[in-house]
């Protein structure tokens, strides 16, 4: 029988992680309610000013940009990744392992390198424009860089393995007899997919969406390198406020806003997962 | 099975993999281009690599990154293994608390985590440098060690430990002589993973670097912001080779212990 006496060993661990994770997060929340003087120093005075600023249309726009980017990244990774996961799950075991390995491999490759690769491909003197020019399909380079869509390409590319693995786990667990029963009863392939496969893999989809959504909110170096600061996202704004603006309370308020977005998506996810009796973060 | 869908499936997969690896391959390819722009291929050269080895700033950043990565791996291995072992002896409620606290850094977007740590360490007047880098990197590495070691621990037959205890071994002796060797492969592979994660981190390192402790990714990021130069390509290619070395090492350990291969198969 495990008693609370044995919990003593856990106390140093709790203190360590509490200090390094819990306390900084609480500190940020506190800071977001504090003011600063003209030099950017923080003064101990309660204010709601930082949160009022967030609601300013200019800043609110940044929230909308980030939210849009994260949602679109989720949808696109799903659209492109679902077939990949589905096809992979149907492969023979040996091929399956190889394909999964190939999907996971980019994770271990420097994320900066992978973003940089897209600059090499999409730049004005990049590979894609070189090919298009050489084939005389265009007479001047297409402007592919520094757009919202360029950032989107970057986040989709970086995060798609998360989506594929989450969906794959779901498809792989699917009870084959259900599909056979559906075919036997005369349902077409598409009908079986939409009525049986898709609903049963919703936990995987929701899990993948969560795993993609969270980092998409904050990977500011992607929008920095590919988006060129044309569209401002939360990550870039927080970064600028901390480094150049020296407005730390406002940066803290934006961080709190960002964390709230994450809490929102996780609570949606856990509701879906609970309904289906599964969980990613069990 | 229907053939037709299979063929379409293979086509789709191939297309996907071309897109997945094209950016990576083009970085490698252009690191050997003699010209300094990607506009034209002007012949093979190793000049960019030579320039790299003569660059002192990059050399220093590399040294710092390696130091930080190794220290992070040690600290994460220690904390993650301790957490996994302890979480099996405590009550269920306590286990949930430990797990929740440890997984939290993975759920908070990196920017928010980085900023919160920056503000917190700043408030504590901690000097930014190796210490802050290692502490912050261990936060996102420990959960992986914890999960991998825990999975391995759960596979261990409890009766082995019971018989050791019956034969008079103390708890610590049982851990040292029986459990530790069994979970060692998991500790080693997850430490390699920690090294890879630490070496790759940009976002948190940006906030945690001190004036004299810029890590390699932070330096590369600032180089990339300026623009495309084959030198960056060469540097990225070298890092890629290093990454493959770590993965190869991991696969080797995985093969010899039959429980590894985590880097590719599980995350």
Report the 3 state secondary structure along A142-198: CCCCCCHHHHHHHHHHHHHHHHHHHHHHHHHCCCHHHHHHHHHCCCCHHHHHHHHHH
In a mutational test of the B interface, the residue from A4, A9, A11, A17 whose CB has the highest number of chain B CBs within 10 Å is A17
Q: Is the pLDDT of residue A151 over 80?
A: yes
Asked if the model's pLDDT at residue A174 lies above 90, the reply is no
Average pLDDT, chain A: 87
The answer to whether the Cβ–Cβ distance between A28 and B39 falls below 8 Å is no
Give yes or no for residue A180 having a pLDDT over 90.
Answer: no
With contact defined as beta carbons under 8 Å apart, do B133 and B213 qualify?
A: yes
Distance from CA of B59 to the nearest CA of A (A): 18
Round to whole Å and give the CA distance between A148 and A258: 19
Nearest chain A Cα distance for residue B109, angstroms:
5
- Say yes or no for a CB contact (<8 Å) between A123 and B24: no
Q: Please answer whether residues A156 and A73 qualify as being in contact, where contact means their C-beta atoms are separated by less than 8 angstroms.
A: yes
pLDDT tens digits, A39-60:
777 788 888 888 988 888 989 9
Q: Do A214 and B107 touch (CB under 8 A)?
A: yes
| CB within 8 Å: B224 and A116 | yes
Contact (CB<8Å) B265/A100: yes
Per the CB < 8 Å rule, is A225 touching B224? yes
- Nearest by Cα to A192 from A172, A175, A178, A206: A178
pLDDT at res. B157: 83
Question: How does pLDDT run across B139-158, given as a tens digit for each residue?
Answer: 999 999 999 999 999 888 88
Q: pLDDT tens digit string along B227-238?
A: 778 889 999 999
Q: Does A99 touch chain B (CB under 8 A)?
A: yes
Which pLDDT band holds residue A123 (cuts at 50, 70, 90)?
A: confident
- pLDDT-based confidence at residue A233 (cuts at 50, 70, 90): very high
Angstrom CA distances, B88 to A205, B61, B92, B116, B259, stand at 31, 40, 9, 31, 20
Q: What is the pLDDT of residue B212?
A: 81
Q: Which residues on chain B are in Cβ contact (under 8 Å) with A220?
A: 111, 203
Contact criterion met (CB < 8 Å) for B202 and A221: yes
Cβ contact (<8 Å) for B200 and A9?
no
At residue A42, φ and ψ (nearest 5 deg) are -80, 130
Question: What's the CA gap between B267 and B254, in Å, rounded?
Answer: 14
CA-nearest residue to B220 within chain A is A112
Instruction: Determine the residue among A4, A96, A112 to mutate to test chain B binding: the one whose Cβ has the most chain B Cβ atoms within 10 Å.
Output: A112
Out of A109, A116, A262, closest to residue B243 by CB: A109
Min Cα distance B35 → chain A (Å) is: 12
Q: Which residues contact B267 (CB under 8 A, 6 or more apart)?
A: A104, A107, A165, B144
State residue A165's pLDDT score.
93
pLDDT reported for residue A118: 94
> How far apart are alpha carbons B59 and B226 in whole angstroms?
19
Query: Quick one: pLDDT at residue A258?
Result: 92
The helix (run of H) or strand (run of E) holding residue B5 is helix B3-30
The residue of chain A with its CA nearest to that of B195 is A108
- Comparing CA positions, the residue from A86, A210, A67, A68 lying closest to residue B5 is A86
Taking only the tens place, the pLDDT of each residue in A234-258 is 988 998 888 776 788 899 999 999 9
| Whether the predicted pLDDT of A94 surpasses 90 | no
CA distance A173 to B99: 26
CB nearest to A101's CB, from B39, B86, B264: B264
CB contact under 8 A, B92 and A2: yes
Distance from CA of B43 to the nearest CA of A (A): 16
Q: Which residues of A touch B113 (CB under 8 A)?
A: 24
- Give the integer Cα–Cα distance in Å for B163 and B68: 41
The pLDDT, as a whole number, for residue B71 is 97
Pairing outcome for strands A42-46 and A34-36: antiparallel
DSSP character at residue B129: S
Q: What residues of chain B score a pLDDT lower than 50? A: 1-4, 259-267
Lowest mean pLDDT among A95-99, A224-228, B114-118, B253-257: B253-257
- The neighbouring-strand residues paired with B44 are B33
Q: Of A10, A211, A19, which is closest to residue B146 (Cα–Cα)?
A: A10
Write down the pLDDT at residue A219. 86
Answer whether A27 touches B (CB < 8 Å): yes
pLDDT of residue A114: 94
Of the partner residues B9, B120, B206, the one whose CB lies closest to the CB of residue A23: B120
Rounded Cα–Cα distance for residues A29 and A278 (Å): 32
CA distance linking residue A70 with residue B190, whole number of Å:
29
d(CA A238, CA B118): 12
Say yes or no for a CB contact (<8 Å) between B112 and A259: yes
Number of continuous H segments (helices) and E segments (strands) in chain B: 13, 0
Chain B, nearest residue to A29 by Cα: B116
Lowest mean pLDDT among A96-100, A159-163, A244-248, B71-75: A244-248
Do A241 and A247 form a contact (C-beta atoms < 8 A)?
Answer: yes
Out of A13, A87, A224, whose CB is closest to B83? A13
Among A69, A158, A92, residue whose Cα is nearest residue B19: A158
- Rounded distance between C-alpha atoms, residue B51 and residue A3, angstroms: 63
């Amino acid at each position: 029988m495990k008693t609370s006496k044995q919990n003593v060993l856990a106390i140093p661990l709790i203190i360590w992680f509490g200090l390094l994770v819990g306390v900084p997060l609480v500190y940020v929340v506190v800071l977001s309610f504090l003011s600063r003087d003209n030099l950017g120093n923080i003064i101990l005075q309660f204010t709601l000013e930082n949160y009022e600023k967030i609601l300013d249309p200019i800043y609110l726009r940044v929230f909308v940009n980030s939210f849009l980017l994260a949602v679109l990244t989720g949808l696109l990774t799903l659209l492109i990744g679902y077939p990949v996961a589905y096809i992979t799950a149907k492969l023979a075991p040996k091929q399956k392992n190889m394909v999964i390995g190939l999907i996971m491999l980019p994770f271990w490759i420097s994320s900066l390198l992978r973003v940089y690769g897209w600059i090499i491909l999409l730049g004005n003197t990049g590979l894609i424009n070189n090919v298009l020019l050489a084939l005389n399909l265009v007479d001047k380079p297409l402007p592919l860089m520094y757009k919202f869509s360029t950032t989107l390409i970057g986040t989709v590319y970086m995060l798609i393995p998360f989506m594929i693995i989450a969906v794959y786990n779901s498809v792989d667990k699917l009870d084959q007899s259900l599909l056979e029963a559906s075919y036997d009863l005369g349902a077409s392939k598409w009908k079986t997919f939409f009525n049986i496969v898709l609903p049963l893999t919703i936990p995987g989809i929701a899990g993948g969406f969560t795993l993609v959504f969270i980092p998409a909110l904050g990977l500011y170096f992607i929008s920095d390198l590919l988006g060129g600061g044309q569209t401002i996202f939360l990550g870039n704004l927080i970064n600028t406020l901390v480094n150049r603006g020296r407005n730390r309370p406002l940066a803290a308020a934006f961080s709190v806003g960002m964390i709230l977005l994450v809490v929102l998506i996780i609570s949606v996810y856990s509701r879906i997962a609970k309904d289906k009796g599964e969980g990613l973060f069990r | 099975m229907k053939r037709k869908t299979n063929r379409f499936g293979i086509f789709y997969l191939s297309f996907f993999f071309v897109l997945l690896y094209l950016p990576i391959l083009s970085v490698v390819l252009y690191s050997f281009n003699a010209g300094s722009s990607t506009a034209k291929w002007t012949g093979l050269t190793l000049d960019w690599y030579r320039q790299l080895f003569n660059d002192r700033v990059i050399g220093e950043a590399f040294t710092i990154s390696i130091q930080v990565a190794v220290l992070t791996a040690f600290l994460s291995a220690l904390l993650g293994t301790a957490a996994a072992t302890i979480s099996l002896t405590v009550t269920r409620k306590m286990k949930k608390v430990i797990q929740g606290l440890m997984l939290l850094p993975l759920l908070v977007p990196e920017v928010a985590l980085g900023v919160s740590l920056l503000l917190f360490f700043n408030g504590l007047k901690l000097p930014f440098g190796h210490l802050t880098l290692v502490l912050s990197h261990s936060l996102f590495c420990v959960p992986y060690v914890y999960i991998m070691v825990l999975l391995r621990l759960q596979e261990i037959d409890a009766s082995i430990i019971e018989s050791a205890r019956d034969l008079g071994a103390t708890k610590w002796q049982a851990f040292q002589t029986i459990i530790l060797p069994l979970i060692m492969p998991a500790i080693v592979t997850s430490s390699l993973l920690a090294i890879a994660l630490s070496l790759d981190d940009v976002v948190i390192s940006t906030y945690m670097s001190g004036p004299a402790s810029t890590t390699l990714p932070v330096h590369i990021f600032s180089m990339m912001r300026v623009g495309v130069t084959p030198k960056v390509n060469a540097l990225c290619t070298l890092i890629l080779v290093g990454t493959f070395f770590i993965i190869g090492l991991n696969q080797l350990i995985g093969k010899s212990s039959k429980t590894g291969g985590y880097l590719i198969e599980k995350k």
